Amino acid sequence: MPAATSILRIKFLRDESRDNPPTVATPGSAGLDLRAAIDTDRLTVAPGDRVAVPTGIAIEIDAPDVAGFVYSRSGLGAKHGLTVAQGVGVIDPDYRGEITVWLLNTSKEPVTIARHERIAQLVLAPIVRPVITPVEELGDTSRGSGGFGHTGKA
């Protein structure tokens, strides 16, 4: 089955961003790597600090039921503790401003990123808009309202 495609229009807001566009690392990559369009050569994030990192791009997705989701790069997060601050950033289909990635340093050491370094990944995914229906009761399931850890450790 062929992969779904969507046209992604990219507006480059800085000349250097045009020279360092979002790219996929491999043919099988799910996301486009977003790059830091910072004004300095390097930016250091202290332990526990958050920083807003511009990407130098704005996007337009040609499908109204597709949104952009900004995820941490697994290597940057796992190896260096630099993650997307809010977990996942959502880029609504009608947003046309610059994509800014908020990074959080979860490590105990300062982490430095360089200008044009890959800092996060943009994944396009379909969205479902619910029709809200107030009800007095919800349907029964075998799980019911069992929450965190209700099935045990094993």
Binding site for substrate: residue ranges?
73-75, 86, 90-92
- Whose tokens are 């430095």? That residue is 112
Nearest to 30 by CA among 116, 122, 127, 120: 122
Counting every residue written for the chain, the total comes to 154
Amino acid, res. 129: R
Q: What phi and psi, each to the nearest 5 degrees, are found at residue 101?
A: -105, 120
**Three-state secondary-structure class, residue 19:** helix
In terms of Cβ atoms closer than 10 Å to its own Cβ (0-12, 13-18, 19+), residue 69 is: middle
Give the Cα separation of 69 and 90 in Å (integer): 5
**Residue 103 tokens, joined:** 């990074």
Please give the annotated binding residues, written as ranges.
73-75, 86, 90-92
